[in-house]
Structure 1
Amino acid sequence: MALTLSKNQSISLEKTAGTGLTSVSLGLGWDPVKPTGFFSKLLGGNESIDLDASCIVLDAGLNPVDVVWFRQLQSRDGSINHSGDNLTGEGDGDDETIYVDLQRLPATVQYLVFTVNSFRGQTFEQVQNAYCRVLDQSTRKELARFNLAEKGGHTGVVMASLSRDSGGWQFKAIGQSTNGRTAEELVDLAIRAVRG
Protein backbone atom coordinates (compact mmCIF):
# COMPACT_ATOMS: atom_id res chain seq x y z
CA MET A 1 0.00 0.00 0.00
CA ALA A 2 1.29 3.46 -0.89
CA LEU A 3 2.49 5.81 1.80
CA THR A 4 0.40 8.97 2.18
CA LEU A 5 2.73 11.84 2.94
CA SER A 6 2.16 15.00 4.95
CA LYS A 7 3.42 18.42 3.91
CA ASN A 8 7.27 18.60 3.88
CA GLN A 9 7.64 14.83 4.36
CA SER A 10 9.89 12.84 2.00
CA ILE A 11 10.66 9.21 1.21
CA SER A 12 13.12 7.20 -0.85
CA LEU A 13 11.27 5.88 -3.90
CA GLU A 14 13.79 3.05 -4.42
CA LYS A 15 13.27 1.78 -0.87
CA THR A 16 9.50 2.01 -1.25
CA ALA A 17 9.57 0.26 -4.63
CA GLY A 18 11.99 -2.39 -3.32
CA THR A 19 14.03 -2.13 -6.51
CA GLY A 20 15.81 0.35 -8.74
CA LEU A 21 13.36 2.53 -10.61
CA THR A 22 13.54 3.01 -14.37
CA SER A 23 10.43 5.12 -14.95
CA VAL A 24 7.78 6.79 -12.84
CA SER A 25 4.64 8.78 -13.41
CA LEU A 26 3.15 11.56 -11.36
CA GLY A 27 -0.62 11.64 -11.49
CA LEU A 28 -2.66 14.66 -10.46
CA GLY A 29 -6.36 14.46 -9.68
CA TRP A 30 -9.01 16.90 -8.51
CA ASP A 31 -12.74 17.47 -8.48
CA PRO A 32 -14.67 20.72 -8.81
CA VAL A 33 -16.64 21.73 -5.72
CA LYS A 34 -20.30 21.10 -6.48
CA PRO A 35 -22.59 24.11 -6.10
CA THR A 36 -24.85 24.00 -3.07
CA GLY A 37 -28.08 25.75 -2.30
CA PHE A 38 -31.21 26.28 -4.32
CA PHE A 39 -30.06 29.34 -6.30
CA SER A 40 -26.63 27.88 -7.14
CA LYS A 41 -28.28 24.80 -8.62
CA LEU A 42 -30.96 26.86 -10.35
CA LEU A 43 -28.41 29.16 -11.98
CA GLY A 44 -26.22 26.22 -12.98
CA GLY A 45 -22.86 27.32 -11.54
CA ASN A 46 -19.72 26.49 -13.52
CA GLU A 47 -18.64 23.08 -12.27
CA SER A 48 -15.54 22.55 -14.42
CA ILE A 49 -12.12 23.41 -13.06
CA ASP A 50 -9.12 23.62 -15.39
CA LEU A 51 -5.99 22.84 -13.38
CA ASP A 52 -2.69 22.26 -15.13
CA ALA A 53 0.00 19.85 -13.93
CA SER A 54 3.53 20.85 -14.88
CA CYS A 55 7.09 19.71 -14.29
CA ILE A 56 9.90 22.22 -13.77
CA VAL A 57 13.30 20.65 -14.46
CA LEU A 58 16.30 21.96 -12.48
CA ASP A 59 20.02 21.17 -12.48
CA ALA A 60 22.22 20.80 -9.36
CA GLY A 61 22.72 24.59 -9.24
CA LEU A 62 18.91 25.05 -9.19
CA ASN A 63 18.97 26.55 -12.68
CA PRO A 64 15.85 25.90 -14.79
CA VAL A 65 16.65 23.46 -17.59
CA ASP A 66 13.19 22.83 -19.06
CA VAL A 67 9.46 23.06 -18.31
CA VAL A 68 6.92 20.42 -19.34
CA TRP A 69 3.36 21.72 -19.32
CA PHE A 70 0.26 21.96 -21.51
CA ARG A 71 2.07 24.19 -24.03
CA GLN A 72 5.10 21.85 -24.23
CA LEU A 73 3.99 18.26 -23.67
CA GLN A 74 7.49 16.76 -23.94
CA SER A 75 10.87 17.78 -22.54
CA ARG A 76 13.43 18.76 -25.13
CA ASP A 77 15.43 15.58 -24.45
CA GLY A 78 12.30 13.38 -24.67
CA SER A 79 12.61 11.89 -21.15
CA ILE A 80 9.48 13.59 -19.72
CA ASN A 81 6.02 13.44 -21.31
CA HIS A 82 2.72 15.04 -20.33
CA SER A 83 -0.64 13.29 -20.89
CA GLY A 84 -2.32 16.47 -22.12
CA ASP A 85 -4.62 19.14 -20.77
CA ASN A 86 -7.76 18.13 -18.83
CA LEU A 87 -10.07 21.14 -18.89
CA THR A 88 -12.69 20.02 -16.36
CA GLY A 89 -11.40 17.71 -13.60
CA GLU A 90 -14.41 15.46 -14.18
CA GLY A 91 -14.15 11.68 -13.88
CA ASP A 92 -12.38 9.27 -11.57
CA GLY A 93 -8.66 8.73 -11.23
CA ASP A 94 -5.80 10.91 -12.41
CA ASP A 95 -6.85 13.93 -14.45
CA GLU A 96 -3.36 14.71 -15.78
CA THR A 97 -0.22 12.58 -15.70
CA ILE A 98 3.47 13.34 -16.23
CA TYR A 99 5.64 10.38 -17.26
CA VAL A 100 9.35 10.39 -16.46
CA ASP A 101 11.86 7.96 -18.01
CA LEU A 102 14.53 8.10 -15.30
CA GLN A 103 17.07 6.26 -17.46
CA ARG A 104 16.83 8.84 -20.27
CA LEU A 105 16.89 11.81 -17.93
CA PRO A 106 20.19 13.70 -18.44
CA ALA A 107 22.72 13.28 -15.61
CA THR A 108 22.74 17.06 -15.17
CA VAL A 109 19.12 17.02 -14.00
CA GLN A 110 18.95 17.00 -10.20
CA TYR A 111 15.37 18.05 -9.42
CA LEU A 112 11.93 17.65 -10.95
CA VAL A 113 9.41 19.98 -9.33
CA PHE A 114 5.73 19.27 -9.94
CA THR A 115 3.32 22.19 -9.86
CA VAL A 116 -0.36 22.72 -10.43
CA ASN A 117 -2.00 25.98 -11.40
CA SER A 118 -5.29 27.38 -12.57
CA PHE A 119 -4.88 28.89 -16.03
CA ARG A 120 -8.38 30.40 -15.93
CA GLY A 121 -7.72 31.97 -12.52
CA GLN A 122 -10.16 29.78 -10.61
CA THR A 123 -9.05 29.50 -6.98
CA PHE A 124 -8.51 26.45 -4.82
CA GLU A 125 -11.69 27.38 -2.93
CA GLN A 126 -13.42 25.79 -5.95
CA VAL A 127 -11.35 22.57 -5.83
CA GLN A 128 -11.79 19.46 -3.69
CA ASN A 129 -10.12 16.05 -3.44
CA ALA A 130 -6.86 17.32 -4.99
CA TYR A 131 -3.92 14.91 -4.81
CA CYS A 132 -0.74 13.89 -6.52
CA ARG A 133 0.72 10.39 -6.55
CA VAL A 134 3.86 8.69 -7.81
CA LEU A 135 3.68 5.33 -9.56
CA ASP A 136 6.40 2.90 -10.59
CA GLN A 137 5.66 2.65 -14.31
CA SER A 138 7.09 -0.87 -14.67
CA THR A 139 4.82 -2.39 -12.00
CA ARG A 140 2.01 0.25 -11.97
CA LYS A 141 2.42 0.24 -8.17
CA GLU A 142 1.57 3.46 -6.36
CA LEU A 143 4.62 4.43 -4.29
CA ALA A 144 3.47 7.59 -2.55
CA ARG A 145 0.53 9.98 -2.40
CA PHE A 146 0.09 13.55 -1.20
CA ASN A 147 -3.45 14.81 -0.57
CA LEU A 148 -3.87 18.56 -0.84
CA ALA A 149 -6.58 19.59 1.61
CA GLU A 150 -5.65 23.27 1.81
CA LYS A 151 -8.36 25.58 0.49
CA GLY A 152 -7.84 29.24 -0.29
CA GLY A 153 -7.84 32.08 -2.76
CA HIS A 154 -4.58 30.92 -4.37
CA THR A 155 -4.34 29.80 -8.02
CA GLY A 156 -1.18 27.69 -7.87
CA VAL A 157 0.60 25.09 -5.75
CA VAL A 158 4.13 23.70 -5.80
CA MET A 159 2.97 20.15 -5.07
CA ALA A 160 6.02 17.93 -4.81
CA SER A 161 9.54 17.23 -6.01
CA LEU A 162 11.73 14.37 -7.10
CA SER A 163 15.41 14.79 -6.28
CA ARG A 164 18.36 12.65 -7.25
CA ASP A 165 20.92 11.59 -4.65
CA SER A 166 23.45 8.77 -4.26
CA GLY A 167 20.70 6.41 -3.08
CA GLY A 168 18.37 7.06 -6.01
CA TRP A 169 15.31 9.29 -6.13
CA GLN A 170 13.61 11.02 -3.20
CA PHE A 171 9.99 12.17 -3.35
CA LYS A 172 9.03 15.17 -1.20
CA ALA A 173 5.53 16.52 -0.56
CA ILE A 174 5.75 20.33 -0.62
CA GLY A 175 2.23 21.83 -0.84
CA GLN A 176 3.34 25.47 -1.10
CA SER A 177 0.45 27.64 -2.27
CA THR A 178 0.97 30.70 -4.45
CA ASN A 179 -0.61 32.67 -7.25
CA GLY A 180 0.20 32.02 -10.87
CA ARG A 181 -1.67 31.00 -13.99
CA THR A 182 1.18 29.18 -15.74
CA ALA A 183 4.11 26.95 -14.76
CA GLU A 184 6.50 29.65 -15.93
CA GLU A 185 5.14 31.94 -13.19
CA LEU A 186 5.90 29.26 -10.55
CA VAL A 187 9.59 28.67 -11.41
CA ASP A 188 11.02 31.00 -8.74
CA LEU A 189 8.82 29.53 -6.01
CA ALA A 190 9.74 26.00 -7.15
CA ILE A 191 13.43 26.87 -6.78
CA ARG A 192 12.86 28.33 -3.30
CA ALA A 193 10.83 25.27 -2.26
CA VAL A 194 13.64 22.91 -3.32
CA ARG A 195 16.27 25.08 -1.65
CA GLY A 196 14.23 24.76 1.56
Structure 2
Amino acid sequence: MAINLQKGQRINLQKDNGNKLQSVCVGINWGAIVKKGFFGTTKEAVDLDASCALFAEDKQLLDVIYFGNLTSKDGSVRHSGDDLTGDVDGDDGLDNEIITLNFTTLHPAVTYVAFMLNSFRGHDFGHIPFASIRIYEGTPTRVNEVFATYDIAHSPDFAGYVSMVMGVFYKRNDEWKFNAIGEPTKDKKLQETVNTVGQNYL
Protein backbone atom coordinates (compact mmCIF):
# COMPACT_ATOMS: atom_id res chain seq x y z
CA MET A 1 0.00 0.00 0.00
CA ALA A 2 2.84 2.40 -0.82
CA ILE A 3 0.50 5.17 -1.93
CA ASN A 4 0.56 8.90 -1.60
CA LEU A 5 -3.05 9.83 -2.17
CA GLN A 6 -4.20 12.89 -4.00
CA LYS A 7 -7.34 14.79 -3.08
CA GLY A 8 -10.47 12.82 -3.88
CA GLN A 9 -8.81 9.42 -4.20
CA ARG A 10 -10.25 6.39 -2.43
CA ILE A 11 -8.36 3.31 -1.32
CA ASN A 12 -9.06 -0.06 0.24
CA LEU A 13 -7.18 -0.40 3.53
CA GLN A 14 -5.54 -3.70 2.73
CA LYS A 15 -1.79 -4.10 2.97
CA ASP A 16 0.47 -5.67 0.38
CA ASN A 17 0.62 -8.94 2.34
CA GLY A 18 -3.17 -9.24 2.32
CA ASN A 19 -3.65 -8.22 5.93
CA LYS A 20 -6.09 -5.47 6.73
CA LEU A 21 -4.87 -2.28 8.27
CA GLN A 22 -5.60 -2.32 11.99
CA SER A 23 -4.60 1.15 13.16
CA VAL A 24 -3.73 4.48 11.61
CA CYS A 25 -2.49 7.84 12.84
CA VAL A 26 -3.31 11.31 11.60
CA GLY A 27 -0.49 13.72 12.38
CA ILE A 28 -0.45 17.51 12.06
CA ASN A 29 2.76 19.57 11.94
CA TRP A 30 2.91 23.37 11.84
CA GLY A 31 4.94 26.40 12.83
CA ALA A 32 4.50 29.81 14.35
CA ILE A 33 3.88 32.77 12.03
CA VAL A 34 6.92 35.01 11.57
CA LYS A 35 6.09 38.72 11.42
CA LYS A 36 8.55 41.40 10.37
CA GLY A 37 8.42 44.79 12.04
CA PHE A 38 10.53 47.89 12.66
CA PHE A 39 12.39 46.17 15.50
CA GLY A 40 13.09 42.87 13.79
CA THR A 41 10.94 39.77 13.54
CA THR A 42 8.48 38.37 16.02
CA LYS A 43 6.81 34.97 16.14
CA GLU A 44 3.08 34.53 16.66
CA ALA A 45 1.96 31.21 18.11
CA VAL A 46 -0.59 29.26 16.06
CA ASP A 47 -3.17 26.88 17.55
CA LEU A 48 -4.34 24.29 15.03
CA ASP A 49 -6.76 21.65 16.25
CA ALA A 50 -7.05 18.15 14.81
CA SER A 51 -10.40 16.50 15.47
CA CYS A 52 -12.26 13.29 14.66
CA ALA A 53 -16.00 12.65 14.36
CA LEU A 54 -17.65 9.23 14.44
CA PHE A 55 -20.92 8.70 12.57
CA ALA A 56 -23.38 5.81 12.28
CA GLU A 57 -24.61 4.38 8.99
CA ASP A 58 -27.60 6.76 9.05
CA LYS A 59 -25.12 9.68 9.45
CA GLN A 60 -26.09 10.21 13.09
CA LEU A 61 -23.21 11.77 15.03
CA LEU A 62 -21.97 9.35 17.71
CA ASP A 63 -18.86 10.99 19.15
CA VAL A 64 -16.36 13.82 18.60
CA ILE A 65 -12.75 13.52 19.68
CA TYR A 66 -10.90 16.82 20.03
CA PHE A 67 -8.76 18.79 22.53
CA GLY A 68 -11.66 18.84 25.01
CA ASN A 69 -12.46 15.12 24.68
CA LEU A 70 -9.26 13.18 24.07
CA THR A 71 -10.64 9.62 23.92
CA SER A 72 -13.70 8.16 22.21
CA LYS A 73 -16.34 6.37 24.28
CA ASP A 74 -15.13 2.99 23.04
CA GLY A 75 -11.44 3.86 23.49
CA SER A 76 -10.65 3.28 19.81
CA VAL A 77 -9.75 6.89 19.00
CA ARG A 78 -7.16 8.78 21.05
CA HIS A 79 -5.95 12.37 20.74
CA SER A 80 -2.40 13.26 21.81
CA GLY A 81 -3.50 16.53 23.42
CA ASP A 82 -3.82 20.21 22.54
CA ASP A 83 -0.76 21.98 21.10
CA LEU A 84 -1.34 25.73 21.51
CA THR A 85 1.72 27.11 19.73
CA GLY A 86 3.15 24.97 16.93
CA ASP A 87 6.92 24.78 16.36
CA VAL A 88 8.00 28.23 17.55
CA ASP A 89 11.71 27.55 16.95
CA GLY A 90 11.39 26.08 13.46
CA ASP A 91 10.28 22.75 12.05
CA ASP A 92 11.42 19.90 14.31
CA GLY A 93 10.02 17.31 11.89
CA LEU A 94 7.60 15.94 14.47
CA ASP A 95 3.83 16.07 14.52
CA ASN A 96 2.36 18.60 16.95
CA GLU A 97 -0.95 16.75 17.32
CA ILE A 98 -1.68 13.10 16.55
CA ILE A 99 -4.95 11.21 16.52
CA THR A 100 -4.70 7.41 16.64
CA LEU A 101 -7.52 5.22 15.32
CA ASN A 102 -7.75 1.50 16.10
CA PHE A 103 -10.20 -0.21 13.72
CA THR A 104 -10.27 -3.44 15.73
CA THR A 105 -11.89 -1.81 18.78
CA LEU A 106 -14.27 0.59 17.03
CA HIS A 107 -17.88 0.19 18.11
CA PRO A 108 -19.78 -1.83 15.45
CA ALA A 109 -22.25 1.03 15.01
CA VAL A 110 -19.51 3.31 13.65
CA THR A 111 -19.60 3.47 9.84
CA TYR A 112 -17.78 6.75 9.18
CA VAL A 113 -14.68 8.22 10.85
CA ALA A 114 -14.00 11.76 9.66
CA PHE A 115 -10.89 13.83 10.37
CA MET A 116 -10.97 17.63 10.43
CA LEU A 117 -8.58 20.51 11.06
CA ASN A 118 -9.50 23.92 12.48
CA SER A 119 -7.47 27.04 13.17
CA PHE A 120 -8.62 27.86 16.71
CA ARG A 121 -7.65 31.55 16.72
CA GLY A 122 -8.63 32.09 13.11
CA HIS A 123 -5.15 32.12 11.58
CA ASP A 124 -5.41 31.75 7.80
CA PHE A 125 -4.07 28.35 6.69
CA GLY A 126 -2.16 30.15 3.93
CA HIS A 127 -0.12 32.16 6.45
CA ILE A 128 1.07 29.24 8.58
CA PRO A 129 4.61 28.01 7.83
CA PHE A 130 5.12 24.35 6.93
CA ALA A 131 1.58 23.36 7.92
CA SER A 132 1.14 19.76 6.77
CA ILE A 133 -0.88 16.64 7.44
CA ARG A 134 0.10 13.00 7.09
CA ILE A 135 -2.07 9.93 7.50
CA TYR A 136 -0.07 6.81 8.12
CA GLU A 137 0.02 3.27 9.42
CA GLY A 138 1.84 3.03 12.75
CA THR A 139 1.82 4.62 16.17
CA PRO A 140 2.54 8.14 17.48
CA THR A 141 6.20 7.11 17.86
CA ARG A 142 6.60 4.87 14.81
CA VAL A 143 5.67 5.58 11.20
CA ASN A 144 5.37 2.38 9.17
CA GLU A 145 3.91 3.71 5.95
CA VAL A 146 2.47 7.07 4.94
CA PHE A 147 -0.46 6.85 2.56
CA ALA A 148 -1.77 10.41 2.39
CA THR A 149 -0.16 13.82 2.85
CA TYR A 150 -1.49 17.35 2.46
CA ASP A 151 0.88 20.31 2.18
CA ILE A 152 -1.43 23.02 3.47
CA ALA A 153 1.18 25.76 3.66
CA HIS A 154 2.15 25.54 -0.02
CA SER A 155 -1.23 24.82 -1.58
CA PRO A 156 -3.19 27.86 -2.79
CA ASP A 157 -6.40 25.87 -2.24
CA PHE A 158 -6.21 26.50 1.52
CA ALA A 159 -5.38 30.21 1.54
CA GLY A 160 -8.18 32.26 3.07
CA TYR A 161 -9.61 29.34 5.10
CA VAL A 162 -9.48 28.30 8.76
CA SER A 163 -11.22 24.92 8.50
CA MET A 164 -10.80 21.78 6.39
CA VAL A 165 -11.90 18.18 6.05
CA MET A 166 -8.86 15.91 5.84
CA GLY A 167 -10.54 12.65 4.93
CA VAL A 168 -13.12 10.03 5.86
CA PHE A 169 -12.66 6.35 6.65
CA TYR A 170 -15.84 4.46 5.79
CA LYS A 171 -17.05 0.88 6.16
CA ARG A 172 -18.48 -1.09 3.24
CA ASN A 173 -19.33 -4.80 3.61
CA ASP A 174 -17.34 -4.90 6.85
CA GLU A 175 -14.23 -3.54 5.10
CA TRP A 176 -12.71 -0.13 5.82
CA LYS A 177 -11.81 2.22 2.99
CA PHE A 178 -10.47 5.77 2.92
CA ASN A 179 -11.59 8.83 0.99
CA ALA A 180 -8.85 11.48 0.84
CA ILE A 181 -10.97 14.64 0.78
CA GLY A 182 -8.49 17.41 1.57
CA GLU A 183 -10.92 20.28 1.05
CA PRO A 184 -11.24 23.57 2.95
CA THR A 185 -14.63 24.62 4.27
CA LYS A 186 -16.08 28.04 5.04
CA ASP A 187 -16.66 27.06 8.67
CA LYS A 188 -15.10 28.97 11.56
CA LYS A 189 -15.67 26.56 14.48
CA LEU A 190 -15.31 22.82 14.98
CA GLN A 191 -19.04 22.21 15.48
CA GLU A 192 -19.74 23.88 12.13
CA THR A 193 -17.15 21.68 10.43
CA VAL A 194 -18.66 18.54 11.98
CA ASN A 195 -22.07 19.58 10.64
CA THR A 196 -20.57 20.19 7.19
CA VAL A 197 -19.04 16.71 7.18
CA GLY A 198 -22.39 15.13 8.10
CA GLN A 199 -24.17 17.01 5.36
CA ASN A 200 -21.67 16.85 2.51
CA TYR A 201 -18.91 14.26 2.94
CA LEU A 202 -20.43 10.96 4.12
TM-score (norm 2): 0.83
Q: CA shift at 1:93, angstroms?
A: 2.2
| Superposed CA offset, 1:89-145 (max 9, x none) | 213221111111211101110111100001111111222433322222378412412
Shift of 1:63: 1.1
Residue 4 of structure 2 contacts residue 147 of structure 2 at CA under 8 Å; is this kept in 1? yes
Partners of 2:32 and 2:43 within 8 A in 1: no
Partner of 2:181, secondary structure, is strand
Q: CA deviation at 1:61?
A: 0.9
Paired residue for 1:88?
85
Partner of residue 126, structure 1: 127
Partner of 1:144: 147
Structure 1 position 29, deviation (Å):
2.0
For residue 75 of structure 1, what is the aligned residue in structure 2? 72
Partner residue in 1 for 2:102: 101
Q: Root-mean-square deviation (CA), in Å? A: 2.4
Mean alpha-carbon deviation: is it higher for 86-95 or for 75-84? Answer: 86-95
| Residues in 2 aligned to 1:123 and 1:106: alpha-carbon distance in whole angstroms | 35
- Identity over aligned residues, as a percent? 33
> Unpaired segments of 5 or more residues in structure 2?
none
Residue aligned with 1:4, SS: coil
Q: CA deviation at 1:10?
A: 1.6
8 Å contact 1:133–1:142 — kept in the other structure? no
Shift in alpha-carbon separation, 1:5–1:41, aligned structure 2, 3 A = farther
Distance 1:24 1:168 in 2: 15
- Partner secondary structure for residue 193 of structure 2: helix
The 5 Å alignment of 1:56-71 reads 56-71=53-68
Specify whether residues 41 and 95 from structure 1 end up closer, same or farther in structure 2 by C-alpha distance, changes over 3 A only: farther
How many residues were matched structurally?
Answer: 192
Structure 2 CA distance for partners of 1:119 and 1:14, relative to 1, 3 Å: same
Cα drift, residue 11 of structure 1: 1.3
Task: Give the equivalent residue in structure 2 for 1:191.
Answer: 198
Q: Residue 27 in 1 paired to residue 37 in 2?
A: no
> 2:178 corresponds to which residue?
171
- CA shift at 1:17, angstroms? 7.1
Rounded to whole Å, the distance in 2 between the matches of 1:17 and 1:161 is 24
Q: Does 1:158 align with 2:165?
A: yes
From 43, 68, 81, the counterpart of 1:46: 43
Contact in 2 for aligned 1:74/1:82 (Cα 8 Å): yes
Structure 2 vs 1, CA of residues 21 and 126 (structure 1 numbering), >3 Å: closer, same or farther?
Answer: same
* Counterpart residue number, 1:13: 13
> What's the offset of the Cα at 1:33?
4.6
